[in-house]
């Protein structure tokens, strides 16, 4: 996220460091909390005991902890970390949990996502170290035992059975990965591991911060947010197993694989180990002689004919391979390793304009992405994450960018399976860029920071390199690293066999070794009108824009009532200048003034909360659609310009895809996964075969993101007054468009039409050779365009000096829309409700943006859901059949119902059983 200092004052035993990271994991919790309550001491004293398996090659995660503030613990570290210690009055915590996540789950605090509850949590409680304590049992102490972990925020002293095995100076940084050989301390029966975790300050530690995305958690995410594994094995350990792939491009006919692993003798005597492995029924083996405490790297070469090639979703399949390795001594397995990988080729050269252009398996790809946020308290819920990734596919996005907060292994496993590309990288505006970001927050680096940075890079590179979904690592965000820092990163990447492109920064910066980033970070981050995106300047549709959007994304009324008090909701629509706690801590983004001014200027002042949300949803649909003009998911404009001969669009990342809490900005869906105008505007823009209007030259363009070309299409454009009176109609027949993101201009609308009202509607339809409608798009336009003041562009927006006049929409007659619905219960745990909506009005007026919500018997939205289409506009007599799929269990035993509403449609709810 880009920041300028003047306006962002609020930003702000034996230890071996192995190059394998485990994954950034949060605590699995529910998403709703009761009011504040204090668990009983008896409840808090109980912490789970983990039964550790003895089989060689196994890794057992600790199942949870008892935690307590060091301010309340007077016992010695030796006592706290010894078996049998009575953790009376301590709190239970999950296996992956920050301190605050645990306290929320334990009911200590009221829902921090509601109102200003989070402000009431005392920060002082988290400015001292906290203890994390866990017991595990071992049946066979003759096996070697290791603690393997990362994800400690910010640093920790580590103890096992009363002995300190690592110091906080060594266990430092959220991403560094550590392996402790604790064999000499572990005994049969109960054992104890304890972490004394230091407070986190993102400006001082190479960890994680929240920039201006949301109100930061009072504990700054201190805790353990990845699994702590207890590994068992024999005298020889296998580590760092991975596969380097080389795909023949463009033929894709063959692939050469290089399998690598480190074989380590952890015993005090020489050993001879047999290392054997397999990939896809191909086997290989070798013998390794190792002196005591020595390590060697083994390498195997595998050649594949007709390899199963991994593709992003929509371009092909997502096949994955598995590597299995075993190290044996005297015929007895000592350790095993398994790694999943995909075969694909990624290249990202700079084009003639100096912009980064990605190619996957030899095919040019327009990056259409969104900026990802984890849960604010770093809680990991696989189902919740999977739901959001499915939403990304539903929206037509192909990429997720992770600026810091790099998610756990499961996230990338899911991205591999669904074919969603990922762009992980370090974050801006704190310690990570403190050495190079001028006057912004973030302390300059000291000599102690460079080893932490290198270990962090090595760990993340080793963890991510085999995931085919990962197509780059951004070693800088707002700023590129200096020569020393860049070499630190690149040395770690090279040692880890990192083969995908390394990008210097997400902004238009260069680094001494990697050179130009080929990206731009020119905003906007706050409201701008739709025609902004068509200019080939600033954030407009040219080059690779790594983060950009029109800022505020007001949730649905259902969600607003879940996150704000009645008084706060009244302020929301009545006072544009009011500071909004659920927007941002930044003084630049803590009000909705720019957004509300535009809403009033274009649509007229809101008359109620309902009217405010109604206009917000309309504006968001319109604006997101404009952002997605031609680049599918911000970007009808980017998509249209992707094949331009000069200064083409190569990538765009909507800022942001989602929010980590209940937010009023930067999100395509809200915290509860409800979908409003922003979501369906993006979904419409990103449909595979799409007809669209261009705000700059009035052209009507057909975009084809399917692989195959489309022919014998008919494009039709019809203009209406807001009362439904038709003023213009034109067809273009025989339209053809190539596949793979190509576009074709079907026709151009006239600059003026006699008698057309100042606010008018444009209906675009695209039909195939059989006459079937394959795309429909409705715009509301004005004879008076929005006027941008380009000369006064700031880093976060371009001022609008006069607004388009869309107030004519307020005079549209109310139109009745009838609805019938039925539900089929599947055998896979899902249900599908089919809804037919019909404009049953007798006049000419269309129903604009008719929304259908699936609700339960008391009117609560059923979420998540996946609609075939929604927010549809219907002319009198027209009907549309929609389907919605969801988990049957999310009805919680209720009968389904559908709620129908719209811009000029009275709300009604009908049964759908």
Q: What is the 3-state secondary structure of 658-682? A: CCCCCCCECCCCCCCCCCCHHHHHH
Phi, psi angles (nearest 5°) of residue 728: -160, 145
Q: Could you give the CA distance from residue 322 to residue 342 in angstroms, rounded to a whole number?
A: 9
CB of 262 within 8 A of CB of 295?
A: yes
Residue recorded with tokens 């089929």: 824
- According to DSSP, the residues that pair with 256 across neighbouring strands are 246, 303
Length of the chain: 913
Please give the distance of CA 772 from its chain centroid, rounded to a whole number: 36
For the chain, what is the largest distance between any 2 Cα atoms, rounded to a whole number of angstroms?
Answer: 94
Q: Could you give the CA distance from residue 520 to residue 356 in angstroms, rounded to a whole number?
A: 10
Q: Could you give the CA distance from residue 692 to residue 528 in angstroms, rounded to a whole number?
A: 20
Helix axes 609-627, 566-574, angle to 10 degrees: 60
CB of 453 within 8 A of CB of 435?
A: no
Spatial neighbors of 662 by CB under 8 A, at least 6 apart, are 113, 114, 555, 559, 562, 563, 582, 670, 671
E runs forming strands in 55-103:
59-61, 65-69, 91-93, 97-98
Q: Is 547 a catalytic residue?
A: yes
Q: Is 478 a catalytic residue?
A: yes
Q: Could you give the CA distance from residue 209 to residue 325 in angstroms, rounded to a whole number?
A: 38
- According to DSSP, the residues that pair with 778 across neighbouring strands are 763
CB of 298 within 8 A of CB of 323?
A: no
DSSP 8-state class, residue 7: G
Q: Could you give the CA distance from residue 258 to residue 245 in angstroms, rounded to a whole number?
A: 6
CB of 400 within 8 A of CB of 392?
A: yes
Q: Could you give the CA distance from residue 327 to residue 277 in angstroms, rounded to a whole number?
A: 9
Q: Which of 478, 636, 805, 871 does the annotation list as catalytic?
A: 478
**Helices and strands, number each (H, E), in the chain:** 13, 53
Q: Which of 394, 547, 639, 670 does the annotation list as catalytic?
A: 547
Closest CA to 580 of 600, 597, 563: 563
Three-state DSSP class for 474? strand
- Catalytic residue positions? 478, 547
């Amino acid at each position: 996220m880009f920041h300028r200092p003047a306006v962002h004052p609020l930003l702000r035993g034996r230890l071996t460091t192995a190059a394998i990271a485990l994954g950034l994991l949060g605590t699995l919790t529910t998403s709703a909390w009761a009011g504040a309550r204090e668990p009983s001491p008896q409840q808090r004293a109980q912490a789970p005991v983990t039964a550790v398996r003895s089989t060689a090659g196994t890794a057992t995660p600790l199942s949870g902890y008892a935690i307590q503030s060091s301010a309340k613990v007077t016992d010695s570290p030796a006592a706290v970390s010894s078996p049998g210690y009575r953790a009376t009055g301590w709190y239970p915590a999950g296996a992956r949990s920050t301190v605050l996540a645990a306290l929320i789950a334990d009911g200590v605090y009221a829902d921090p996502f509601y109102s200003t509850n989070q402000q009431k949590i005392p920060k002082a409680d988290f400015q001292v170290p906290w203890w994390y304590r866990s017991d595990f049992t071992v049946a066979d102490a003759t096996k070697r035992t290791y603690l393997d972990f990362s994800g400690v925020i910010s640093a920790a002293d580590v103890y096992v059975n009363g002995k300190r095995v690592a110091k906080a100076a060594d266990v430092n940084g959220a991403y560094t990965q550590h392996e402790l050989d604790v064999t000499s301390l572990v005994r049969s029966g109960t054992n104890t591991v304890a972490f004394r975790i230091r407070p986190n300050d993102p400006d001082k530690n190479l960890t994680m911060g929240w920039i201006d995305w949301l109100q930061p958690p009072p504990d700054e995410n201190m805790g353990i947010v990845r699994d702590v594994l207890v590994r068992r094995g024999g005298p020889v350990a296998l580590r760092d197993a991975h596969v380097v792939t080389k795909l023949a491009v463009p033929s894709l006919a063959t692939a050469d694989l290089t399998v690598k692993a480190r074989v380590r003798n952890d015993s005090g005597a020489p050993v001879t180990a047999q290392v054997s492995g397999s990939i896809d029924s191909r086997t290989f083996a070798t013998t390794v002689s190792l002196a005591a405490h020595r390590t060697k790297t083994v390498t195997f070469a595998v050649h594949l004919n007709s390899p199963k090639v991994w593709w992003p979703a929509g371009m092909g399949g997502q096949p994955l391979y598995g590597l299995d390795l075993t190290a044996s001594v005297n015929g007895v397995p000592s350790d095993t390793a398994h790694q999943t990988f995909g075969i694909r080729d990624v290249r990202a050269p700079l084009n003639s304009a100096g912009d980064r252009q990605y190619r996957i398996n030899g095919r040019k790809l327009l990056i259409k992405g969104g900026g990802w946020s984890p849960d604010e308290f770093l809680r990991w819920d696989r189902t919740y994450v999977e739901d959001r990734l499915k939403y990304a596919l539903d929206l037509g996005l192909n990429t997720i960018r992770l600026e810091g907060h790099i998610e756990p292994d499961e996230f990338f496993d899911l991205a591999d399976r669904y074919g969603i590309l990922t762009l992980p990288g370090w974050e801006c505006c704190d310690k990570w860029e403190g050495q190079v970001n001028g006057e912004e927050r973030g302390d300059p680096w000291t000599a102690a920071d460079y080893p932490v940075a290198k270990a962090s890079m090595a760990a993340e590179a080793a963890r991510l390199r085999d995931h085919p979904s990962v197509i780059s690592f951004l070693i800088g965000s707002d700023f590129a690293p200096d020569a020393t820092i860049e070499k630190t990163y690149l040395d770690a990447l090279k040692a880890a066999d990192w083969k995908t492109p390394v990008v210097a920064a997400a902004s238009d910066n260069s680094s001494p070794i990697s050179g130009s980033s080929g990206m731009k970070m020119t905003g906007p981050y706050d409201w701008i009108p739709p025609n902004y995106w068509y200019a080939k300047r600033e954030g407009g549709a040219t080059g690779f824009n790594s983060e950009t959007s029109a800022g505020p994304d007001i949730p649905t009324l259902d969600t607003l009532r879940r996150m704000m008090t009645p008084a706060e909701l009244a302020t929301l629509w009545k006072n544009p200048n009011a500071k909004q706690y659920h927007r941002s801590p930044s003084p630049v983004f803590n009000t909705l003034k720019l957004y509300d001014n535009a809403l009033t200027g274009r649509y007229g002042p809101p008359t109620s909360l309902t009217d405010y949300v109604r206009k917000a949803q309309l504006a968001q649909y319109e604006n997101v659609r404009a952002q997605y003009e031609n680049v599918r998911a911000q970007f009808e404009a980017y998509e249209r310009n992707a094949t331009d001969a000069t200064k083409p669009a190569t990538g765009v990342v909507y800022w942001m895809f989602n929010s980590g809490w209940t937010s009023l900005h930067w999100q395509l869906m809200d915290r509860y996964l409800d979908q409003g105008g922003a979501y369906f505007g993006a979904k419409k823009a990103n449909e595979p075969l799409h007809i669209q209007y261009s705000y700059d030259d009035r052209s009507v363009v057909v975009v084809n993101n399917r692989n195959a070309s489309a022919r014998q299409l008919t494009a039709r454009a019809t203009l209406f007054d807001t009362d439904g009176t038709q003023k213009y109609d034109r067809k273009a027949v025989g339209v053809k468009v190539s596949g793979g993101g190509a576009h074709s201009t079907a026709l151009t609308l006239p600059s003026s039409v006699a008698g057309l009202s100042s606010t008018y509607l444009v209906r675009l339809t695209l039909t195939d050779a059989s006459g079937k409608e394959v795309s429909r798009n409705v715009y509301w336009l004005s004879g008076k365009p929005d006027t941008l003041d380009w000369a006064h562009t700031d880093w976060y927006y371009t001022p609008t000096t006069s607004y388009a006049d869309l107030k004519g929409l307020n005079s549209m007659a109310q139109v009745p829309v009838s609805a019938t619905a039925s539900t089929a219960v599947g055998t896979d745990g899902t249900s599908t409700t089919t809804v037919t909506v019909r404009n049953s009005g007798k006049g000419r007026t269309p129903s604009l943006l008719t929304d259908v919500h699936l609700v339960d018997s008391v009117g609560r939205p059923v979420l998540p859901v996946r609609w075939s289409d929604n927010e549809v506009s219907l002319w009198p007599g027209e009907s549309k059949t929609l389907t919605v799929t969801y988990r049957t269990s999310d009805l919680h035993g209720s009968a389904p119902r559908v709620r129908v509403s719209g811009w000029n449609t009275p709300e009604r709810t009908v049964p759908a059983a």
